Amino acid sequence: MDEKQAAAGFSAMGADHRLGVLRHLVKAGEKGLLVHEVATLTGIAASTLAHHLKTLQAAGLITQRREGRSTVNIANYDHLAALAGYILHECCISGADDHG
């Protein structure tokens, strides 16, 4: 993962509504959630939710798949793990000796 990808991922998570959506999708597991399920869980209006989902998808944090007329949203666990690894390895490990 390069710095630009990491910045995009962390930026997309930087809004409280998007972070909340992502938390619900992570909890839902591989089956994901339909858009209306995400709306019900978060209380976010459908028009606003569409924007948040698009932002999360563009950053690679979620994937979407069509099932008939519905869209299933799924947390992209590989990308989330890569982000966690990036921040822990690139940002913290090199300075760990300096803090204790």
pLDDT per residue as tens digits for the range 26-74:
999 999 999 999 999 999 998 899 999 999 999 999 999 999 999 999 9
State if pTM tops 0.75: yes
pLDDT digits (tens, 9 = 90+) for 67-99: 999 999 999 999 999 999 998 886 666 555 544
Helices (H), 1-99: 3-12, 16-28, 35-42, 46-58, 77-86
* CATH no. for 3-93: 1.10.10.10
Q: Do 49 and 84 contact (CB within 8 A), yes or no?
A: no
35-to-19, 67, 83, 95 alpha-carbon distances in Å: 16, 12, 24, 41
How far apart are alpha carbons 52 and 68 in whole angstroms? 22
